[in-house]
């Protein structure tokens, strides 16, 4: 089963996390920006796609810094083990753990 089937907001949450750790591709940024008018219509909130996500989830402004800190700590842990952390995996795990 597709992870996002019936849960389109789930991918937006993952993109929010990827954006916080500066791991969104140019293509992802462009696609998310193109989605903004639809998100404004759907949720009745203006602003960037990430503003809409934050508003819908009631995220505090400090969340981006918290995500960056978790990313930094995990990246260092992986590096000590001789591995590189995968940003998409991190985003999925972060969302699954924090917003079940």
Q: Does residue 30 fall inside a structural domain?
A: yes
Per-position pLDDT tens, the chain of length 100: 689 998 989 999 999 999 999 999 999 999 999 999 999 999 999 999 999 999 999 999 999 999 999 999 999 999 999 999 999 999 999 999 998 7
* Separation between Cα atoms, residue 52 and residue 36, nearest integer Å: 8
Residue 3 lies in a domain: no
Q: Is residue 60 part of a domain?
A: yes
Let me know if residue 2 belongs to a domain.
Answer: no
Q: Is residue 33 part of a domain?
A: yes
Q: Is residue 88 part of a domain?
A: yes
Asked if residue 21 is part of any domain, the answer here is yes
The model's pTM is 0.93
Q: How many separate domains does the chain show?
A: 1
Enclosing domain of residue 31: 8-98
């Amino acid at each position: 089963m597709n992870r996002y089937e019936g849960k389109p907001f789930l991918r937006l949450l993952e993109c929010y996390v990827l954006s916080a750790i500066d791991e969104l591709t140019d293509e992802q940024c462009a696609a998310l920006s193109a989605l903004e008018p639809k998100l404004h219509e759907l949720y009745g909130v203006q602003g960037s796609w990430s503003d809409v996500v934050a508003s819908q989830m009631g995220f505090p402004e400090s969340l981006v810094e918290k995500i960056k800190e978790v990313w930094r700590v995990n990246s260092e842990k992986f590096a000590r083990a001789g591995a590189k952390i995968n940003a998409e995996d991190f985003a999925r795990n972060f969302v699954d753990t924090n917003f079940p």
